[in-house]
Structure 1
Amino acid sequence: MSRIYFRCVPFAKEQVTLALESGVDGVIAPRERVDQVAALSRCPVWAEDEVAVAALSAKADEEAVLARLKNGERVALARGWEVIPVENLLAQSDAVLVEAGNLDEARLAAGILERGVAGIVVLPEALADLKEIVAQCKLSQGREDLLPAVITRVEPVGLGHRVCADTLSLLRRGQGMLVGNSSAFTFLVHAETEHNEYVAARPFRINAGAVHAYTRLPHDKTSYLGELKAGQEVLIVDAEGATGVATLGRVKIEVRPMLLIEAQADTQNGLQKGTVFLQNAETIRLTAPDGTPLSVVSLKPGDAVLCRLDEAGRHFGMRVREEIREV
């Protein structure tokens, strides 16, 4: 995930205000304006002369930039950069910055080597694209490969501690979090976007499941639901596999009646089964392949729900290769 910086040179206060409201990670401003910008928001503000701009027109330029980066300097590659030299720099440094003058350039920079540059310096000519650049290059985490799985069992299992993940975002129909008893098989647990006659919709909330369950996080990490905390970023996924990031405002853990839900997916390697424990209540829903929320109360064998399959094996949320079996 690339960080987004806005270069406000020449200085214009209304541009800085728009950039900060759009969610940029930092601002580059004339040195005499640094304190003024820093008073507007708690985010990094770099003086213009603290971020060198370097054009790459020959191999020697690439080598010179790499030497400066390794020396701790901030260097942004001037607009007009090409992918191969940037790849070469990324392979040797985690501090590569590049300029972008429109959405397409920013999107390209964010996808180089599948991880993107450390920072995208958005130029004033891209101001109209800035909100979309933040959405696509900072918030988006690429796509998750979802597939339908068939419910095989729904069974009450008594009481357990369940986790409500309340985000700072208003989620929409089709969105939720990937949760499961194994990181190798997670279910798209739908946000509480639906009204019923007893309870108002709470589109900021995902009633995600039991404390022990895994949930997928940004950057291909996982966490136990019981370890989530306020201020942490979580991965939001929709029925099409598109992803985003939301920040947790609150985590509620309470004892509630629970259901064991089992499903199986038909893969190239045969049938693969997975399970998840969810609260036994009408407002908790999984997600049908068309994005429709399916209440766990009415869920039955034969229903299709969206899931994600992966290889098992995590250590402190990081992917590892080892022999592991989770049942």
Structure 2
Amino acid sequence: MTRTVWVKADDSVGDWEARKRRITTAIEAGADWVLVDEDDVGRVRDLGAIDVAAFLSDADVVDGGGETAEADATFVGKGGEGDGSIDLPDDFTGSADLTTLRRRDDRAQGAYVRVLGTEYEAFAESAAAAADITVVIGEDWSIIPLENLIARVGDETHLVAGATTAAEARTAFETLELGADGVLLDTDSPEEIRGAVEARDAAERESLELTTATVTAVEATGMADRVCIDTGSLMDDAEGMLVGSLSRGLFFVHAETAESPYVESRPFRVNAGAVHAYVRNPEGGTNYLAELSSGDEVQVVDRDGGTREAIVGRVKIEKRPMFRIQAEVTTDDGVDRVETLIQNAETVKVATDEGRTAVTDLETGDEVVVYYEDVARHFGEAVEESIIEK
């Protein structure tokens, strides 16, 4: 599921300067969409790159539809049944379509509904059956209506829940464990918008089950082309990347956050290994180290298995003396061997059961942290076929 953060910036926010501040904040915070009035679409385009959704204007409805909006998605519901400006029919039976929300206009992909009561919950559910995107705004409600809508229409539409704080956004993403597909922030606070973006990112991240492997060999192997991954993010002492010669078993290699008498720390860097090795990416696949280049994404992992993504800023490939590290993982089927090539340097550290150890101090019998999955890979994707790696 792709989670999204939307920021509401229509005329209910205030004049253009007030709306502009929200839109600029949304762009700078990394939000995915802004929801504006149709007349503002062009001005949003001038401010920066972000997807733009627009409420269809009253004039277009009265005239039976005007020129196609320049927005990436158009919405109905404002100024009509969706926001309570027009009462629901007394004989409403739970059947609605997008033209009910805004008459005589069939351009809309999205529905906007304020849940003012149980009948509006049914109205939102019915509208969602016809809408690619459905925004629901709770009024004096907590979780139950959102739970109902996730359960009933979660597969039919991109469900976006209204929120005013990052905490509400986080709850929306976690509701029923599945969570809403997106949140629409109605706030002027840059901190709340950034917090919602962080909640989106956290909801999309994997949590990996790391294990340990027993080192069976540490051998000097001579020179090889070694890859340093320099990212556009700072990593902390508990973070690194998963790297290995065999796709089924990747070693936890720490970022260069530790101080050394020989070189300064490089908390943006992981000295990952030889060019042939794999590194795990945020999609759960792998890339060869030699394939990485500026702008690619790699997965950063911490000792608890928490993950996040980082953008590659630079890749440094240089000839360096290497170690071959071999270890054994205990599996349900017995013992499996994993290994990697890594630079022979005291600044390169791998995670162990006792913390982290420089590869130059690593010994047979040490327990190193690895990510093990008994699958084969083809072009970095897990496949069900027999592949022998040795």
TM-score by length of 2: 0.73
Q: CA deviation at 1:118?
A: 4.8
Q: Which of the residues 157, 163, 166 maps onto 1:100?
A: 163
Q: Which of the residues 232, 254, 274 maps onto 2:318?
A: 254
Q: CA deviation at 1:154?
A: 0.9
Distance 1:318 1:122, change over 3 A: farther
Give the 3-state SS of the residue equivalent to 2:310 in structure 1: strand
- Contact 1:150 1:302 (C-alpha < 8 Å) held by counterparts: yes
Supply the AA of the counterpart residue of 1:143.
S
- Contact 2:279 2:288 (C-alpha < 8 Å) held by counterparts: yes
Distance 1:216 1:116, change over 3 A: farther
Distance (whole Å) between structure 1 residues aligned to residue 273 and residue 6 of structure 2? 37
The residue that corresponds to 1:196 in the other structure is 260
- Contact 2:169 2:183 (C-alpha < 8 Å) held by counterparts: yes
Q: CA deviation at 1:231?
A: 0.9
Give the 3-state SS of the residue equivalent to 1:326 in structure 2: coil
Supply the AA of the counterpart residue of 2:387.
I
Q: Which of the residues 136, 139, 147 maps onto 1:77?
A: 136
- Contact 2:112 2:136 (C-alpha < 8 Å) held by counterparts: yes
Deviations 1:244-294 (A, max 9, x none): 11111112222222111112233444333211111111221111345x432
The residue that corresponds to 1:211 in the other structure is 275
Give the 3-state SS of the residue equivalent to 2:260 in structure 1: coil
Q: CA deviation at 1:128?
A: 4.1
- Contact 2:32 2:50 (C-alpha < 8 Å) held by counterparts: yes
Supply the AA of the counterpart residue of 1:53.
Y
- Contact 1:146 1:241 (C-alpha < 8 Å) held by counterparts: yes
Which has the higher mean CA deviation after the structures are superposed, 267-276 or 48-57? 48-57
The residue that corresponds to 1:154 in the other structure is 218
Tell me how large the CA RMSD over aligned residues is: 2.8
Distance (whole Å) between structure 1 residues aligned to residue 205 and residue 383 of structure 2? 20
Gaps of 5+ in 2: 57-73, 76-110
Q: Which of the residues 293, 296, 299 maps onto 2:359?
A: 296
Q: CA deviation at 1:155?
A: 0.8
Distance (whole Å) between structure 1 residues aligned to residue 28 and residue 341 of structure 2? 39
- Contact 2:230 2:313 (C-alpha < 8 Å) held by counterparts: yes
Supply the AA of the counterpart residue of 1:200.
E
> Are 2:26 and 1:26 equivalent residues in the alignment?
no
Supply the AA of the counterpart residue of 2:131.
R
Supply the AA of the counterpart residue of 1:131.
R
The residue that corresponds to 1:42 in the other structure is 49
Distance 1:102 1:253, change over 3 A: same
> Are 2:201 and 1:143 equivalent residues in the alignment?
no
- Contact 1:178 1:308 (C-alpha < 8 Å) held by counterparts: yes
Distance 1:105 1:142, change over 3 A: farther
The residue that corresponds to 1:4 in the other structure is 5
Deviations 1:169-219 (A, max 9, x none): 011111111111222111111111122122111111111112221221112
Distance 1:113 1:272, change over 3 A: farther
Give the 3-state SS of the residue equivalent to 1:219 in structure 2: coil
Supply the AA of the counterpart residue of 2:33.
G
Supply the AA of the counterpart residue of 2:338.
G
Distance (whole Å) between structure 1 residues aligned to residue 180 and residue 290 of structure 2? 33
The residue that corresponds to 1:285 in the other structure is 349
> Are 2:286 and 1:222 equivalent residues in the alignment?
yes
Which has the higher mean CA deviation after the structures are superposed, 2-11 or 237-246? 2-11
Distance (whole Å) between structure 2 residues aligned to residue 324 and residue 40 of structure 1? 51
Give the 3-state SS of the residue equivalent to 1:144 in structure 2: coil
Give the 3-state SS of the residue equivalent to 2:129 in structure 1: helix
The residue that corresponds to 2:62 in the other structure is none
Q: CA deviation at 1:31?
A: 3.7
Q: CA deviation at 1:301?
A: 1.5
Distance (whole Å) between structure 2 residues aligned to residue 227 and residue 99 of structure 1? 41
Aligned residues: 321
Distance 1:63 1:239, change over 3 A: same
Gaps of 5+ in 1: none
Deviations 1:133-186 (A, max 9, x none): 222322551311112222221111122222211111011111111111222111
Distance (whole Å) between structure 2 residues aligned to residue 231 and residue 156 of structure 1? 33
Deviations 1:50-86 (A, max 9, x none): 24313575667435323222xxxx4323346523532
Which has the higher mean CA deviation after the structures are superposed, 139-148 or 298-307? 139-148
Supply the AA of the counterpart residue of 2:137.
A
Supply the AA of the counterpart residue of 2:49.
R
- Contact 1:54 1:65 (C-alpha < 8 Å) held by counterparts: no
TM-score by length of 1: 0.85
- Contact 2:9 2:34 (C-alpha < 8 Å) held by counterparts: yes
Supply the AA of the counterpart residue of 1:46.
A
Supply the AA of the counterpart residue of 1:107.
R
- Contact 1:185 1:308 (C-alpha < 8 Å) held by counterparts: yes
